[in-house]
């Protein structure tokens, strides 16, 4: 068999007639010009005849353009001098999307002559799919083996109704097929044509004549589709005259506004894009005047279309990510595919997603959302990979995109950017946000609780509560009102360079407000004002502002920055002046930064920590410093603050740990959350003995301390959870300068002043009792007495007991407890049974004992319990 493509593309000859070809000129090379396999065709006796190779399987093609597609009549004459079959047939294309009919991607409609049923039928061809029968003609109408003459006429109305007629005598006495269906699948045309399929013996047995294509109908205005506040696509039912359609004065809004530009689409000649110089109203009526199709059919005027709800580019906080599926397996009920959900966070705007990109921090590839994508007010949509879109189609609106970023199970920073590069939304999620260990393991989404507080972080997200594992493209299962009424706080200031200072805030800022130079003042310790040349909010999360100074900072010279007002992205503004101190850091010398406290044997469920002290007069930046359990870097080494500056002022403390939350939970009253720093890869410490080393970013050793459980207080019932504290800051990092933390502070002081600190040895004991007369009557005035003590050295175990004037035991306040070098003990005037002590004199008996030296001391203080009359 041989498949011969025979295509006609016909240039308009006159108004209304797009093709009138009788081959009277004896050729097909001009008026109109056919292109393709011209050598395989000839014109004889003013009839086009096939003349291809007598080889089964050869494909041939001729072509010329024709855009007629609707409101059109096609007519042609043919004679197939052969017995038609599945291997011998002709397809006459009425409209086709491209010149290459050999391509499976070609779309359009064609009339088939012959085939298995020897009939005349109408087919539709969709891209890369088998042809679909539209009108099934009567079987056997082309039943001759030598002479199948037929004239065919096909009409398509403006409404898309098809009519197929034939005259088997070749005249004009047409007989219509009964079926006249409506099919509007394809509305555009590039060509008309004929394709032939034949066996070798029939290479010269196809004849064609009298092709006529007529479009006598003017274009209709189908719809107006706004793209943004000033751009609208005007869609017609057929191609329009490109010269006339590009004239802006042919278009006018009911308000009188005329577009500044009118541009016919290069991809679809039935679409004209109009751009106006002002924003559209909420409802608009467009008029089009004196517009014709390419064949001179002029539209009755005016053509009108209304449109409203103009899509606009999203602003900050209007387009959000409200759901994240990062760990998709094991699946619970949703497809096992990563996705994010986007949401139109407005009450009345239709958002155009043209130019919007999804980015993952650390990735060089941006994911572009479809230019035609839109979201209605309050509407959700799933964004996922192109190949996954079909999986989410049952859930609602889905946008399948190429280059969808791979989401980390443990956490990522995701950003939505607008067409101009503006950050529309940012979220930096972690797997701690699930708040549920089972759901954290996979198959459940993270959902935003309240879109109105989209600036919020962990407090505004949690694992989905839906039984399927998530709520793609619909309202989140955890949705609840959670308004943000708290203004931002200034956390710290860090000098990045001699001329740049970064201010860190506790939440996302209004980036526009934060760029106001008048909000910031800087003053050196000498009282000199430092000018600010620029304030640059740091994206994409805007939790920091970089201040560019007019003069250079001097190393380790303290500066105070004051912020008169800070506004978060929810609009909450701080009413009080906030300030922070900082200085340009210097390189540390050995001994500047030392180990100040260590917990190497934590309680069950606890974590280790190592506290560092800057005992120098320099400001030190710990970024890139190393903590190790051996001298050479490698196993047992962690990097301190690798991604950001972390500056310690002189005398400042920081406790390094793997999990500050656990550490603070185990020492709630004796730890300082602001001085706890999470360090990835924190080394496991031997709970018997070991050495910790501290290096700077160049691997220079700054300090090391060899700890041993034998250094703990012998009287401890357990060493688990008890830290070793440095006694004297200026002393050496030796066992003699460390002691067990006091029981009265919970046995550890991470981030706080050591309970056993003593800056100078000796000095004698000092005990004071204030007030010496108190009235425990709960009136808020002198309801208790306080014993304040200062000890000459660490390591004391103490007991504090209250006796009445007759020497009878009234209350045991402390009993054999290890004491810090300074502290207080309170008595509220009650006895050991919780009853109020009688009015009178009482003796406070203090006993001190040092197990290491066997030293014992006793003190007595008198106090009076009174009453108000």
pLDDT 10s digits, 787-824: 988 888 888 899 999 999 888 999 999 999 999 988 88
pTM: predicted TM-score of the whole model, two decimal places: 0.54
Nearest to 670 by CA among 610, 749, 724: 749
8 pLDDT tier (thresholds 50, 70, 90):
very low
Cβ distance 172 to 151 under 8 Å?
A: yes
Q: CA angle at residue 521 from 515 to 522, to 5 degrees?
A: 120
Which alpha helices (H) appear in 123-237, and where do they start and end? none
758 exposure class (CB count in 10 Å sphere: 0-12, 13-18, 19+): buried
20 pLDDT tier (thresholds 50, 70, 90):
confident
User: Coil, strand or helix: which one is 395?
Assistant: helix
Residue 302: asked if its preceding bond is cis (omega within 30°), the reply is yes
The residues facing 274 across adjacent strands are: 232, 262
Cβ distance 259 to 245 under 8 Å?
A: no
Cα separation, 366 vs 370, in Å, equals: 13
CA 743 to mean position of chain CA atoms: 48
pLDDT tens across 516-552, in order? Answer: 999 999 999 888 999 999 999 998 889 999 999 999 9
Mean pLDDT across the chain, nearest whole number? 90
Nearest to 161 by CA among 32, 42, 70, 289: 70
Cα separation, 781 vs 773, in Å, equals: 11
691 exposure class (CB count in 10 Å sphere: 0-12, 13-18, 19+): middle
12 pLDDT tier (thresholds 50, 70, 90):
very low
What is the mean pLDDT of the segment spanning 338-360?
93
Q: CA angle at residue 23 from 18 to 26, to 5 degrees?
A: 140
Cα separation, 453 vs 571, in Å, equals: 10
Residue 739, pLDDT score: 86
DSSP structure class, residue 514: H
Cα separation, 446 vs 462, in Å, equals: 5
Look at residue 634 and tell me whether its pLDDT is greater than 80.
Answer: no
Q: How many CB atoms lie within 10 A of CB 197?
A: 24
Cα separation, 232 vs 254, in Å, equals: 15
Cα separation, 596 vs 610, in Å, equals: 8
Cβ distance 154 to 177 under 8 Å?
A: no
pLDDT tens across 461-474, in order? Answer: 999 999 999 999 99
Instruction: Report the share of the chain in percent with pLDDT over 90.
Output: 67
CA 807 to mean position of chain CA atoms: 73
Residue 283, pLDDT score: 81
SS3 content of the chain, % helix, strand, coil (to 5): 5, 40, 50
Structure tokens, 125: 């061809």
Look at residue 6 and tell me whether its pLDDT is greater than 70.
Answer: no
778 pLDDT tier (thresholds 50, 70, 90):
low
Residue 834, pLDDT score: 84
Residue 83, pLDDT score: 96
Residue 309, pLDDT score: 67
Cα separation, 675 vs 688, in Å, equals: 26
Cα separation, 361 vs 195, in Å, equals: 54
Residues 725, 731, 732, 735, CA torsion sign: negative
758 pLDDT tier (thresholds 50, 70, 90):
low
Residue 607's alpha-carbon distances to 118, 598, 743, in angstroms, are 86, 11, 19
* Ramachandran angles phi, psi of 94, nearest 5°: -85, -40
Look at residue 144 and tell me whether its pLDDT is greater than 50.
Answer: yes
Nearest to 180 by CA among 121, 138, 135, 137: 135
pLDDT tens across 398-423, in order? Answer: 999 999 999 999 999 999 999 999 99
Nearest to 636 by CA among 595, 683, 688, 678: 683
* Helix or strand run (H / E) with residue 390: helix 389-392
Give 15 or 608, the one with higher predicted confidence: 608
User: Coil, strand or helix: which one is 841?
Assistant: strand
Cβ distance 270 to 235 under 8 Å?
A: yes
Structure tokens, 564: 């008169």
* Ramachandran angles phi, psi of 186, nearest 5°: -115, 130
Task: List all residues 6 or more positions away from 333 whose beta carbon is below 8 Å from its beta carbon.
Answer: 443, 467, 468, 469
pLDDT tens across 225-238, in order? Answer: 988 888 999 999 99
DSSP structure class, residue 132: E
The secondary structure of 293-335, three-state, reads CCCCCECCCCEEEEEECCEECCCCCCEEEEEEECCCCCCCCCC
What is the mean pLDDT of the segment spanning 457-462?
91
Residue 632, pLDDT score: 39
End-to-end CA distance of the chain: 124
Beta strands across the sheet bearing 446-448: 398-401, 380-385, 339-344, 319-325, 446-448, 461-463
Structure tokens, 578: 């906030």
Nearest to 238 by CA among 158, 122, 181, 123: 158
Strands 311-312 and 350-352: parallel
Cβ distance 6 to 58 under 8 Å?
A: no
Cα separation, 26 vs 107, in Å, equals: 31
Sole residue written with tokens 């959302």: 369
What is the mean pLDDT of the segment spanning 330-350?
93
Look at residue 313 and tell me whether its pLDDT is greater than 60.
Answer: yes
């Amino acid at each position: 068999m041989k498949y011969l493509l025979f295509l006609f593309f016909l240039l308009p000859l006159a108004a209304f007639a797009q093709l009138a070809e009788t081959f009277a000129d004896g050729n097909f090379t001009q008026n109109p010009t056919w292109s393709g396999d011209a050598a395989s065709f000839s014109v004889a006796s003013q009839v086009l005849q096939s003349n291809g190779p007598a080889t089964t399987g050869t494909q041939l093609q001729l072509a010329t353009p024709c855009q007629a597609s609707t409101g059109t009549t096609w007519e042609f004459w043919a004679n197939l001098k052969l017995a038609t079959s599945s291997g011998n047939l002709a397809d006459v294309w009425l409209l086709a999307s491209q010149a290459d009919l050999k391509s499976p991607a070609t779309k359009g409609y064609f009339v088939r002559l012959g085939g298995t049923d020897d009939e005349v039928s109408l087919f539709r061809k969709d891209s890369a799919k088998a042809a679909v029968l539209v009108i099934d003609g009567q079987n056997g109408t082309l039943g001759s083996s030598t002479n199948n003459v037929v004239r065919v006429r096909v009409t398509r109305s403006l409404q898309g109704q098809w009519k197929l007629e034939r005259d088997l005598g070749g005249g004009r006495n047409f007989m219509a097929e009964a079926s006249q269906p409506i099919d509007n699948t394809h509305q555009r045309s590039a060509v008309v044509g004929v394709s032939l399929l034949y066996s070798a013996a029939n290479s010269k047995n196809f004849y064609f004549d009298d092709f006529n294509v007529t479009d006598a109908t003017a274009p209709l205005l189908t719809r107006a589709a706004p793209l943004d506040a000033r751009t609208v696509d005007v869609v017609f039912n057929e191609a329009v005259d490109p010269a006339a359609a590009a004239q802006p004065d042919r278009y006018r809004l009911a308000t009188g506004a005329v577009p500044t530009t009118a541009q016919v689409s290069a991809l679809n000649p039935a679409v004209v894009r109009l751009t106006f110089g002002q924003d559209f109203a909420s409802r608009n009526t467009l008029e089009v005047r004196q517009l014709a199709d390419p064949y001179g059919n002029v539209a009755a005027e005016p053509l009108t279309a209304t449109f409203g709800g103009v899509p606009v580019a999203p602003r900050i906080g209007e387009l959000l990510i409200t759901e994240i599926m990062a760990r998709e397996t094991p699946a619970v009920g949703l497809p096992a595919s990563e996705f994010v959900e986007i949401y139109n966070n407005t009450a009345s705007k239709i958002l155009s997603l043209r130019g919007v990109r999804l980015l993952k921090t650390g990735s060089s590839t941006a994911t572009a959302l479809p230019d035609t994508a839109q979201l209605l007010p309050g509407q959700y949509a799933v964004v996922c990979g192109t190949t996954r879109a079909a999986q989410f189609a049952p859930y609602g609106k889905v946008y399948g995109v190429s280059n969808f970023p791979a989401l980390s199970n443990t956490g990522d920073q995701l950003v939505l950017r607008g067409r101009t590069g503006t950050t529309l939304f940012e979220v930096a999620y972690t797997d701690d946000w699930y708040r549920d260990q089972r759901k954290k393991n996979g198959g459940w989404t993270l959902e935003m609780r309240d879109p109105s507080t989209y600036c919020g972080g962990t407090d505004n997200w949690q694992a989905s509560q839906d039984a399927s594992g998530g709520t793609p493209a619909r309202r989140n299962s955890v949705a609840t009102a959670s308004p943000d009424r708290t203004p931002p706080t200034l956390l710290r200031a860090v000098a990045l360079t001699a001329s740049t200072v970064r201010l860190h805030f506790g939440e996302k800022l209004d980036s526009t407000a934060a760029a106001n130079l008048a909000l910031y003042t800087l003053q050196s310790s000498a009282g000199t004002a430092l000018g600010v040349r620029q304030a640059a909010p740091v994206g994409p999360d805007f939790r920091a502002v970089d201040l560019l100074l007019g003069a250079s900072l001097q190393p380790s010279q303290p500066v105070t920055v004051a912020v008169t007002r800070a506004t978060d992205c929810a609009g909450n503004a701080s009413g009080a002046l906030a300030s922070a101190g900082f200085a340009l850091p210097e390189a540390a010398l050995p001994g500047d930064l030392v180990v100040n406290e260590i917990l190497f044997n934590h309680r069950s469920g606890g974590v280790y920590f190592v506290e560092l002290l800057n005992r120098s007069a320099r400001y030190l930046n710990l970024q890139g410093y190393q903590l190790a359990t051996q001298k050479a870097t490698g196993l047992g080494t962690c990097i301190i603050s690798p991604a950001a500056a972390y500056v310690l002022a002189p005398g400042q403390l920081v406790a390094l740990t793997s999990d500050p939350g656990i550490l603070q939970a185990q020492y709630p009253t004796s730890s300082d959350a602001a001085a706890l720093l999470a360090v990835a890869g924190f080394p496991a410490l031997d709970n018997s003995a070991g050495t910790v080393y501290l290096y700077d970013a160049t691997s220079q050793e700054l300090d090391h301390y060899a700890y041993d459980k034998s250094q703990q207080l012998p009287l401890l019932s357990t060493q688990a959870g008890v830290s070793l504290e440095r006694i004297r800051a200026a002393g050496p990092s030796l066992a003699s300068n460390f002691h067990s933390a006091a029981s009265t502070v919970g046995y550890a002081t991470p981030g706080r002043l050591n309970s056993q600190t003593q800056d100078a040895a000796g000095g004698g004991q000092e005990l004071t009792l204030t007030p010496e007369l108190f009235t425990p009557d709960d009136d808020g005035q002198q309801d208790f007495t306080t014993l304040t003590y200062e000890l000459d050295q660490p390591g004391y175990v103490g007991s504090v007991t209250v006796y009445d004037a007759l020497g009878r035991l009234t209350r045991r306040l402390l009993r054999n407890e290890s004491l810090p070098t300074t502290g207080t003990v309170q008595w509220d005037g009650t006895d050991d049974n919780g009853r109020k002590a009688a009015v009178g004199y009482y003796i406070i008996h203090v006993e001190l004992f040092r197990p290491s030296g066997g030293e014992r001391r006793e003190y007595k203080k008198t106090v009076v319990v009174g009453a108000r009359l």
